[in-house]
């Protein structure tokens, strides 16, 4: 069972982070998405918080042949709040953090589970992301904790993301 503690006072937040998808001290694995597919992670955020960046962490496999890459912030109903610029020359090494700056700072209006998403397209190799794989029956409980979402994407995040359908949760932080 994965416990995600929404109380930032008792988490191991990285310097400068407001929140993270799960505590870094939890055991992590690595998972790759597929080119052009949105990968979402639930993140507990409080009303009044201002979000300007989203950071994801790669694992052991570096990206090769990146053609598009962006991150997005979604509200609890999976409605798009903001997206970073599309990086058409994206590079992402192994075992490094990749920070995406949103098009405009976002001040949250509700407390609760929001979603951060990342999408990259490649001609050769997808990066693996530091992630958790959650037991299926626990991940299906509402609200979703994250997973694979929309496909066929390149430059723009969907206005409303499809509810996650798998049980891969990438580590991410917002600042």
DSSP category for residue 136: H
What pLDDT score does 1 carry?
36
Q: Tell me: the pLDDT tens digits for 144-167? A: 788 889 999 999 999 999 998 777
The pair of three-digit structure tokens given for residue 1, joined into one six-digit string: 């069972």
The pair of three-digit structure tokens given for residue 52, joined into one six-digit string: 């300007």
The pair of three-digit structure tokens given for residue 42, joined into one six-digit string: 């639930």
Q: Tell me: the pLDDT tens digits for 95-134? A: 999 999 999 999 999 999 999 999 999 999 999 999 886 6
Collect all residues with Cβ–Cβ distance below 8 Å to 165 and sequence separation of at least 6: 147, 148, 149
Q: Considering the entire predicted model, what is its pTM?
A: 0.90
What pLDDT score does 42 carry?
92
Counting residues of the chain whose pLDDT is more than 90, the rounded percentage is 69
User: How far is 156 from 69, CA to CA, in rounded Å?
Assistant: 10
What pLDDT score does 31 carry?
81
Average pLDDT across the chain, whole number: 88
Place of tokens 């999976």: 78
Cβ density class 155-171: b for 16+ within 10 Å, e for less: eebbeebeebebbbbbb
Q: Is the pLDDT of residue 25 over 70?
A: no
Map residue 10 onto helix, strand or coil: helix
């Amino acid at each position: 069972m994965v416990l995600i503690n929404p109380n930032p006072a008792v988490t191991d937040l990285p310097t400068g982070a407001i929140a993270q998808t799960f505590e870094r001290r939890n055991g992590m694995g690595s998972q790759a998405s597929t080119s052009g597919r949105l990968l979402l992670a639930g993140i507990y955020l409080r009303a009044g918080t201002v979000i300007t960046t989203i950071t994801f962490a790669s694992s052991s496999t570096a990206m090769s042949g990146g053609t598009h890459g962006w991150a997005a912030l979604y509200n609890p109903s999976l409605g798009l709040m903001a997206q970073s610029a599309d990086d058409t020359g994206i590079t992402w090494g192994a075992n490094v953090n990749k920070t995406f700056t949103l098009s405009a700072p976002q001040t949250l209006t509700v407390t609760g589970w929001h979603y951060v998403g990342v999408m990259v397209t490649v001609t050769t190799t997808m990066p693996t992301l530091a992630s958790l794989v959650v037991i299926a029956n626990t991940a299906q409980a509402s609200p979703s904790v994250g997973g694979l979402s929309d496909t066929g994407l390149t430059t723009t995040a969907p206005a409303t993301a499809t509810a996650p359908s798998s049980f891969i949760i990438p580590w991410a932080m917002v600042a």
